[in-house]
Amino acid sequence: MSIMELIRKKSLEDARRINSNLIPPKNYSVSEFSEAHRILSVEDSPEPGKFRCWHFQRGMLDVFNEANTRRCVYMTSTQTSKTTLLMNLLMYIVCARNGGITFMLPSEVIARDYSKARFAPMIRDCPELEKRIPAGKTNGNTILYKQ
For the chain (147 residues), the mean pLDDT of every run of 10, in chain order, is 84 80 72 94 86 90 88 82 89 86 91 91 91 76 83
Q: What is residue 92's predicted lDDT score, i.e. its pLDDT?
A: 92
Query: What letter does residue 49 receive in the DSSP assignment?
Result: E
The span from the CA of 54 to the CA of 76, in Å, is 14
Q: What is residue 45's predicted lDDT score, i.e. its pLDDT?
A: 82
- How many H-runs (helices) and E-runs (strands) does the chain carry? 7, 2
Q: What is residue 21's predicted lDDT score, i.e. its pLDDT?
A: 64
The span from the CA of 30 to the CA of 123, in Å, is 17
Helix%, strand%, coil% for the chain, nearest 5: 55, 5, 45
Q: What is residue 109's predicted lDDT score, i.e. its pLDDT?
A: 95
Closest to 41 in 3D by CA, of 49, 51, 32, 52: 49
Q: What is residue 22's predicted lDDT score, i.e. its pLDDT?
A: 65
Q: What is residue 137's predicted lDDT score, i.e. its pLDDT?
A: 67
Provide the phi-psi class of 31: left if phi over 0, else alpha when psi is between -120 and 50, else beta: alpha
Closest to 40 in 3D by CA, of 120, 125, 103: 125
Kindly report the pTM of this predicted structure: 0.75
